[in-house]
Amino acid sequence: MKKLTRRELIKRTAAAAAALAAPAIVPSTALGKDGAVAPSERIVMGAIGIGNRGASDLNWMLGEKDMHFVAICDIRKSRREYVKSLVDSRYGSKDCAMFIDLREFLAARDDIDALLIATGDRWHALASVLAMKAGKDMYCEKPGTMTIAEGQALRDTERRYGRVFQTGTQRRSEGKFVAATQLARLGYLGKLHTVRAHLASWTPVPKFDWRPAEPLPPKDEIDWDLWLGPCPWRPYNSAYVRGGWRGYYDFHSGDIGEWGSHTINQCQMALDSDDTSGIEYEYPGNKEGEGMVIRYANGVKMILQRKGWHGSCGVTFEGTEGSVSVADGYEKPEVTPASLLQECPKLVRDYQAQTQRPLNHVRDFFNCVKTRRRTVSNAEVAHRSMTTCHAANICLWLERNLKWDPVKEEFINDPEANRFLSRAMRQPWQI
């Protein structure tokens, strides 16, 4: 090596000292300044199955500063590319990864904290259970289950693995629904005797056949085997992947499952019955479920009805001293006596103060991911309300009254009804 002169040594030493003394330039976003969230505080998220509803959920979540979205898993190429384009555009990058098979996705991305699951009904419980076993928390769209056995597995897995689960019954976190529920729960209506749950009017009677076969598209465009998942093998038909799976027994929980996952769920919250289900189901004499009466152990009856609402997902709570109705189309709850309306703002404020719940369903989920608290619509809540939905469906299919034991979680002295507690799952899928 060339020997340094004394002057050169002094110059190099001074330069090094200056470099050490100079302040490091670190972006403010990395430090959590200027309204940004430090990386250590961000929830890293991915998604499984993003259709129209899932896209709405994803845009909602992207508005939360402490969430960072990194990967999409979907069996449809068009949806994978749509989500990647949306996310990359939002972040100004090209980093959003794409996957087809959720098994590969869960195995490859151990950096992901939580998932948005917005598949069709057939995949909700299975994808959630697999994700929880892989160490993920999740926000899963409703209805959470296709059968009562799926609900039991969902609840038991949430408990065993200590995961955070929120089902997408977002009206539990909306002010006007909270106000109506609190009027019922806190005695403002007197003693509750009747609640009413709105049902959708799409396809009340399930179809047990399937659509005609069409040529299979390239596997990269849509992996039909993965689309079917645990369901029986059925020939490909493009209508299924456009939402035309609704109304078919193989893929759908029916109108009672799809809409009741909101409205029956809301009624059970008002009844303080989040840990139980209806115990008696009276066949209404029609295959639609219109007017079905469901009774609870506390003596309150629930009536299922499609008519009489001016908005979707409506509920009505009736007591000895008043009543309240609310639905999506209502600006505010409709109450009798009208003087009860003035109590609503305070009831909502008190609810938030006592429960520390935000009026934002996604925000409740993210808060619980950080604190490990159970969400407002956790797996137990989802399972118990969906049990009521499934039992009502079974009542319709068998065309007779049923009695349910919510402790043993089985129909009383009815082996035929108990055969509907689960469905066979196509290999290799198990729950």
What radius of gyration, in Å, describes the C-alpha atoms of the chain? Answer: 26
Question: How many Å apart are CA 73 and CA 109, to the nearest integer?
Answer: 11
Amino acid at residue number 131: A
Query: pTM for the complete prediction?
Result: 0.90
- What gap in Å lies between CA 177 and CA 315, rounded to an integer? 9
Strand, helix or coil at 192?
strand
Q: End-to-end distance of the chain based on CA atoms, in angstroms?
A: 69
Question: Of 262, 260, 271, which Cα lies nearest the Cα of 195?
Answer: 271
Residue with structure tokens 């109450």? 335
In the prediction, which pLDDT does 50 show?
95
Domain boundaries, the chain: 38-170, 171-205+252-421
CATH class of 171-205+252-421: alpha beta
pLDDT at residue number 19: 46
State the alpha helices, DSSP H only, in 100-188.
Answer: 102-108, 121-133, 148-161, 175-185
Q: How far is CA 315 from CA 263, 334, 395, in A?
A: 6, 11, 22
**Distance between CA atoms of residues 223 and 235, nearest Å:** 13
Q: What's the rounded mean pLDDT across residues 373-377? A: 98
C-alpha–C-alpha distance, residues 246 and 317, integer Å:
29
Residue 307 pLDDT? 87
pLDDT at residue 9 greater than cutoff 70: no
Phi, psi of 82 (to 5 degrees): -60, -50
The pLDDT tens digits for 46-65 are: 999 999 999 999 999 999 99
Average pLDDT of 342-348? Answer: 98
Q: What is the mean pLDDT of residues 127-142?
A: 98
CATH topology of domain 38-170: Rossmann fold (3.40.50)
Assess whether pLDDT exceeds 50 at residue 163: yes
Higher pLDDT, 202 or 333: 333
Residue 144 and residue 382 in contact, taking contact as beta carbons nearer than 8 Å: yes
Q: What is the per-residue pLDDT for 217?
A: 97
Q: What is the pLDDT of residue 206?
A: 87
pLDDT tier for residue 347 given thresholds of 50, 70 and 90:
very high
Q: What are phi and psi of 218, to 5 degrees?
A: -55, 145
Q: Would you place residue 25 in the very low, low, confident or very high pLDDT band (cuts 50, 70, 90)?
A: very low
pLDDT at residue 24 is higher than 50:
no
In this predicted structure, the answer to whether residue 13 has a pLDDT above a threshold of 60 is no
The predicted model gives 246-258 an average pLDDT of 93
**What percent of the chain has pLDDT above 70?**
92
- The contacts of residue 239 (CB under 8 Å, 6+ apart) are 211
Q: Which of 22-36, 203-217, 218-232, 315-329 has the lowest mean pLDDT?
A: 22-36
CA distance 376 to 374: 7
183 pLDDT more than 80: yes
Average of pLDDT values for 53-79? 97
Per-residue pLDDT tens over the stretch 386-415 = 999 999 999 999 999 999 999 999 999 999
- DSSP of 279-317, one letter per residue? SEEE--SSTT-TT-EEE-TTS-EEEEESSS-SSSS-EEE
User: Does position 340 have pLDDT exceeding 60, yes or no?
Assistant: yes
**Model pLDDT, residue 16:** 52
For 122, 169, 339, the CA distances from 263, given in Å and listed in that order, are: 20, 9, 25
pLDDT at 216: 97
* Per-residue pLDDT at 15: 54
Tell me the mean pLDDT in the region 36-40. 79
| Confidence tier at 201 by pLDDT (50, 70, 90) | confident
Task: State the average pLDDT for the chain.
Answer: 93
Reported as type and span, the H/E element at residue 41 is none
Residue 368 and residue 364: Cα distance in Å, rounded?
6
Per-residue pLDDT, averaged over 20-41, amounts to 58
**Amino acid 35: pLDDT:** 63
The confidence score (pLDDT) of residue 10 equals: 52
**Rounded Cα–Cα distance for residues 315 and 180 (Å):** 9
